[in-house]
Amino acid sequence: MILLDGKKTSLKILEEVKKRVAELSRTPHLVVILVGDNVASRIYVNNKKKAAEKVGIKSTIIEFASDITETDLLNKISELNNDNDITGILVQLPLPEHINRSKIISAISPKKDVDGFNPENVGRLAVGMEPYFYPATPQGIIMLLDEYGIKIEGKNAVVIGRSNIVGKPMAQMLLKRNATVTICHSFTQDLDNKIKTADIVVSAVGKKIVRCKMGNKNSVLIDVGIFRDSNGKLTGDIDFDFVSPDCKYITPVPGGVGPMTIASLMYNASKIY
Amino acid sequence: MILLDGKKTSLKILEEVKKRVAELSRTPHLVVILVGDNVASRIYVNNKKKAAEKVGIKSTIIEFASDITETDLLNKISELNNDNDITGILVQLPLPEHINRSKIISAISPKKDVDGFNPENVGRLAVGMEPYFYPATPQGIIMLLDEYGIKIEGKNAVVIGRSNIVGKPMAQMLLKRNATVTICHSFTQDLDNKIKTADIVVSAVGKKIVRCKMGNKNSVLIDVGIFRDSNGKLTGDIDFDFVSPDCKYITPVPGGVGPMTIASLMYNASKIY
């Protein structure tokens, strides 16, 4: 069993991004919008800012109180869209209840939408065109697979979870790389059987859901889930101790997909359209 | 084995569309654009016009010579987008080589895009939002399954083919109805095994590709392929004689998905945004 070291790989990618940024004719400028005072969101936003600084990307955090109106937020985005100095815009999720998330994400210019969640980028990915930006988490996972020389073409990939942030774009990206993709979710019957026979499993659920005896000893297991167990310890979707002896590659939690996501986001933020 | 009668079901749906149109405050008006002199395209376009007439939808065919410029075609679409009398716009595919298909389809207003191929409609479907229009063929297949009371939720669905017109939107729509969806294509290994164990198979390849002994006697087989065999006889992707004894439901070719596609398109054309 080989650990897919997301920490190490992310540092390598950040190093590459740093070089790339240094060679650009102008400095990319990422604006991160934070609405309200969600503690976790604030940590994520600060981590993004720190990562950006490390690779030489200028970053600005714009904070709004949780009672900002949708119109005011839309106006701010429109202003940033039209500001040539700003090359990337990211709205940290979740947003307060009274703000329509789809509306906000749709308002970001597709060419500055570093999260890749804007319908135009989603649509481009869905029809097999090149989006301006791929969503960070699935892109980071593909980078990790590539780093370890893991073949995707022709493989049976099982994606567990169908969120717009991970599961769905992951399925699209694996399909683009010519995997045979099965999308599983809460209505899936006989999930264990699907996991057991897969070549590549990507689990993005947030529950300890992968705990079967693997039938395919060459399988690659990617754990996107990250949460605290009843003892307060960080853990993922995959029962690592039980499953890892019977697979070929597996990501640790933490230190797997998490650092790859941020490196992948910085890769996006270094692009200027 | 029960035949899924697309002919009969399509007539029922066309009847419903006709009633719906009669109750509208104004008559929907579909414009079909035909470029060049592809014989098959001309037949399809005429069939669409005839179907529209039957249900009381006004339709206009606009023909252009194959040497029309992309700009002229884009200008025409822009004019139709802005014409309040026009409620639906359809550009018959394929287009001549010198015209960028994506560009043309992207130019159609999402609210008049009765084919559902515009990136905004594709993106909406991809993120689980309601598109203004669903692509006709997969929507027609869902209508057919519903007509026969075939449960989709929780079922294992295998979609063969990943075109933007059938395979990909079919996968999205089955996923939306909570099936576990596997997308297969030319790189898929062990396709027979995937077909055998599926509850629902939708094949959209255009080659005689489904010819294995079904392992699941309750399976539902949907044949989107339609082409002429070496004897000039119309046939589909599924080896009907070999496969049909071991499944529960199967579509005939012709008389299955084909008529449902046109009924589904008329359903779209009856919508006014």
User: What per-residue confidence (pLDDT) applies to B67?
Assistant: 97
Q: Are residues B74 and B161 in the same domain?
A: no
Q: Are residues A67 and A178 in the same domain?
A: no
Tell me if chain A has a CB within 8 Å of the CB of B180: yes
Nearest residue to A169 via CA among A138, A142, A144, A146: A138
Share of chain A above pLDDT 90, in %: 97
User: What per-residue confidence (pLDDT) applies to A263?
Assistant: 98
CATH number at residue A42: 3.40.50.10860
Tell me if chain B has a CB within 8 Å of the CB of A112: no
For every residue of B57-84, which 3-state class applies, written as one string?
Answer: CEEEEEEECCCCCHHHHHHHHHHHHHCC
From A76, A111, A146, give the residue that closes a domain: A111
Tell me if chain A has a CB within 8 Å of the CB of B106: no
Catalytically active residues of B are 48, 92, 115
Q: How far apart are the first and last CA of chain B?
A: 41
A117 vs A154: CA distance, rounded Å:
27
Please name the residue of chain A whose CA is at the shortest distance from the CA of residue B169: A126
The enclosing H or E element of A210 equals none
| Number of domains chain A contains | 2
Planar angle of CA B134, B140, B142, nearest 5 degrees: 90
B145 domain residue, yes or no = yes
Tell me if chain A has a CB within 8 Å of the CB of B163: no
From B78, B112, B146, give the residue that closes a domain: B112
Distance from CA of B168 to the nearest CA of A (A): 8
B172 domain residue, yes or no = yes
B71 domain residue, yes or no = yes
Q: Are residues B105 and B203 in the same domain?
A: no
Nearest residue to B91 via CA among B106, B83, B82, B126: B106
Distance from CA of B248 to the nearest CA of A (A): 20
A272 domain residue, yes or no = no
Residues of chain B with Cβ-Cβ distance to A125 below 8 Å are 126
Q: Are residues A87 and A156 in the same domain?
A: no
The enclosing H or E element of A234 equals strand A234-235
B205 vs B186: CA distance, rounded Å:
9
Which residue in the set A123, A180, A188 is minimally distant from B126, CB to CB?
A: A123
What letter would DSSP give residue B96? Answer: P
Q: Are residues B156 and B49 in the same domain?
A: no
Q: Are residues A103 and A160 in the same domain?
A: no
Please name the residue of chain B whose CA is at the shortest distance from the CA of residue A174: B183
Q: Are residues B92 and B196 in the same domain?
A: no
Nearest residue to A31 via CA among A45, A16, A47, A14: A45
* Test the A interface: residue of B183, B184, B190, B196 with most A CBs within 10 Å: B183
The sheet that has A88-91: what strands, in order across it?
Answer: A58-64, A29-35, A88-91
Tell me if chain B has a CB within 8 Å of the CB of A178: yes
Q: Are residues A160 and A66 in the same domain?
A: no
Tell me if chain A has a CB within 8 Å of the CB of B119: yes
User: What per-residue confidence (pLDDT) applies to B120?
Assistant: 86
Residues of chain B with Cβ-Cβ distance to A171 below 8 Å are 183
Tell me if chain B has a CB within 8 Å of the CB of A215: no
Beta-carbon separation of A123 and B123 below 8 A: yes
Set A5, A58, A76, A92: catalytic member? A92
| Contact status, residue B262 vs residue B32, Cβ threshold 8 Å | no
User: Considering Cα of B145, then B149, then B150, then B152, what sign does the dihedral take?
Assistant: positive
A10 domain residue, yes or no = no
User: What per-residue confidence (pLDDT) applies to A119?
Assistant: 87
The enclosing H or E element of A220 equals strand A220-223
Share of chain A above pLDDT 70, in %: 100
Tell me if chain A has a CB within 8 Å of the CB of B201: no
Beta-carbon separation of B183 and A164 below 8 A: no
Beta-carbon separation of A126 and B124 below 8 A: no
Q: What is the pLDDT of residues A13-52, one digit of tens each?
A: 999 999 999 999 999 999 999 999 999 999 999 999 999 9
Quote the pTM value: 0.96
A266 domain residue, yes or no = no
Beta-carbon separation of A183 and B175 below 8 A: yes
Beta-carbon separation of B126 and A188 below 8 A: no
Distance from CA of B220 to the nearest CA of A (A): 17
Which residue in the set B126, B154, B194 is minimally distant from A168, CB to CB?
A: B126
Longest dimension (CA), chain A: 54
Q: What is the pLDDT of residues A77-134, one digit of tens each?
A: 999 999 999 999 999 999 999 999 999 999 999 999 999 999 889 998 998 889 999 9
| Residues 6 or more apart in contact with residue A74 via CB below 8 angstroms | A103, A104, A107
Identify the residue whose tokens are 């997969």: B138
Q: Are residues B144 and B247 in the same domain?
A: yes
In this prediction, the residues of chain B whose per-residue pLDDT falls under 70 are: none
Q: Are residues A105 and A187 in the same domain?
A: no
Beta-carbon separation of A180 and B189 below 8 A: yes
CATH number at residue A254: 3.40.50.720
Q: Are residues A202 and A245 in the same domain?
A: yes
From A111, A144, A165, give the residue that closes a domain: A111
A217 vs A199: CA distance, rounded Å:
9
Please name the residue of chain B whose CA is at the shortest distance from the CA of residue A182: B182
User: What per-residue confidence (pLDDT) applies to A216?
Assistant: 94
The enclosing H or E element of A78 equals helix A70-82
What letter would DSSP give residue B95? Answer: P
A129 domain residue, yes or no = no
| Contact status, residue A33 vs residue A177, Cβ threshold 8 Å | no
Set A58, A76, A112, A115: catalytic member? A115
User: What per-residue confidence (pLDDT) applies to A120?
Assistant: 86
ipTM of the complex: 0.94
Indicate the average pLDDT of chain A.
97
Residue A160 has pLDDT above 90, yes or no: yes
A149 vs A154: CA distance, rounded Å:
15
Q: How far is CA B133 from CA A82, A101, B23, B128, in A?
A: 31, 22, 20, 13
User: What per-residue confidence (pLDDT) applies to A129?
Assistant: 86
Segments forming the whole domain that contains residue B157: 136-258
| Residues 6 or more apart in contact with residue A149 via CB below 8 angstroms | none
Identify the residue whose tokens are 């720190």: A50
Beta-carbon separation of A122 and B127 below 8 A: yes
Q: What is the pLDDT of residues A41-91, one digit of tens each?
A: 999 999 999 999 999 999 999 999 999 999 999 999 999 999 999 999 999
Q: Are residues A143 and A201 in the same domain?
A: yes
Tell me if chain A has a CB within 8 Å of the CB of B102: yes
| Contact status, residue B62 vs residue B31, Cβ threshold 8 Å | yes
Please name the residue of chain A whose CA is at the shortest distance from the CA of residue B128: A164
Residues of chain B with Cβ-Cβ distance to A154 below 8 Å are 187-189
B1 domain residue, yes or no = no
Cβ neighbours around B50 below 10 Å, total: 11
